[in-house]
Structure 1
Amino acid sequence: MLKIWSMKQQQQQQQKEAAASGDGSAKKKVTAAQIRVQKDLTELSLPSTMKTHFPNPDDLLHFTVTIEPDEGMYQGGKFNFSFVINNNFPHEPPKVKCIQKIYHPNIDLEGNVCLNILREDWKPVLNLNAVLVGLQYLFLEPNAADPLNKEAATDLQHNRDNFRRNVRNSMNGGYVGREKFERVVSA
């Protein structure tokens, strides 16, 4: 298990060793954002439908989360989200984008996510777990009242059956209107 202060202690030890050897290979300081992210990650209790992936294990501020909904209209899909956390975290929310193109009222075709805690309702007391719960909830209950994809929102509001068909078609790699979607369901 990761310890909150292990990065700081490791950095201090490396600085001492570098100073003792005189080779000038001291590492960069650990930021408050890195310490907070490490704390948030150690407190995560992810369900089996979510997984984190760190392309560079030494960089906790850039990672991906895979969500595989096991219920709702998006059941069977596999959606990847990139997380980019800047050094002002937790005073600023993480930047979250869906990597795949998705037919969803709260995620636009460029992958931008409309989740209130990633915008105006963000507070430093919120953590990464709150963001992940919010993302998971978007797959269970898409919100047509606060859309980024207005076409999908209108479809959801006025013709739920057609919306459900469009979700299935898009997840299978088909077209919705003129938009081609990547297949996100297993064969």
Structure 2
Amino acid sequence: MTSTQKQQQQAANNAEGGAKKKKVTAAQLRAQKDIAELSLPPTMRTHFPDPDDILNFELKIEPDEGIYKGGLFKFTFSINNNFPHEPPKVRCTQKIYHPNIDLDGNVCLNILREDWKPVLNLNAVMVGLQFLFLEPNPSDPLNKEAAEDLRLTKESFKRNVRQSMQGGFVKSVQFDRVLK
């Protein structure tokens, strides 16, 4: 039973038992709809640490091609009550070497900032995150050193990505081991 189904069952049980029904917010309804309609490839999966809280969950991405192939990258999603009028807050929980993800886990993805529109859904954000691992974007960086590395010498960038994914150091910064 998915967490969405559990939540629906719990709501039905509460209604039948005459218990006080918890008010469902517009953000929860929209998030529930988006989650129910997710069509993720096998390289991505969601996890709900608290099945009763669909506004806070994790996403794991395991690229099966490109420079980041072989890694397991974890993100947290936090959706506030203004969703879908505001994008979800997304953070990478590991320290990784990537032009569009800084060392604190902040993510630079246009649809999480200026290009967000309420018609976009969680699936679009997740696909956008996956795309960052296939095609890192050095022209809109959060990690300027990694972006510069990618712009100047792609081979050096690839070596540094591999080194960092193994938990090694790149320019005196140690990265988290993310290899499966």
TM-score normalised by the chain length of structure 2: 0.93
CA distance, structure 1, for counterparts of residue 130 and residue 162 of structure 2: 18
Gap runs ≥5 in structure 2? none
Residue number in structure 1 paired with 2:14: 14
Q: Deviations over 1:88-129 (max 9, x none)?
A: 100000000000001000000000000000000000000001
CA distance, structure 2, for counterparts of residue 76 and residue 15 of structure 1: 47
Gap runs ≥5 in structure 1? 19-24
1:99 to 2:93 alignment: yes
CA distance, structure 2, for counterparts of residue 98 and residue 152 of structure 1: 16
Residue 17 of structure 1 deviates from its aligned partner by 3.3
Residue number in structure 2 paired with 1:139: 133
Residue 39 of structure 1 deviates from its aligned partner by 0.5
- Count of aligned residue pairs for this structure pair: 179
Assess if the C-alpha contact under 8 Å between 1:11 and 1:29 holds in 2: no
Higher Cα radius of gyration: 1
Any residues of structure 2 matched to 1:48-59 within 5 Å, and which? Answer: 48-59=42-53
Residue number in structure 2 paired with 1:22: none
Of 112, 116, 124 in structure 2, the residue corresponding to residue 118 of structure 1 is: 112
Going from structure 1 to structure 2, the CA distance change for 1:9 and 1:184 (only over 3 Å counts) comes to closer
CA distance, structure 1, for counterparts of residue 177 and residue 8 of structure 2: 42
Of 80, 84, 91 in structure 2, the residue corresponding to residue 90 of structure 1 is: 84
Residue 9 of structure 1 deviates from its aligned partner by 8.6
CA distance, structure 2, for counterparts of residue 71 and residue 124 of structure 1: 31
Going from structure 1 to structure 2, the CA distance change for 1:6 and 1:124 (only over 3 Å counts) comes to farther
Residue number in structure 2 paired with 1:29: 23
1:184 to 2:178 alignment: yes
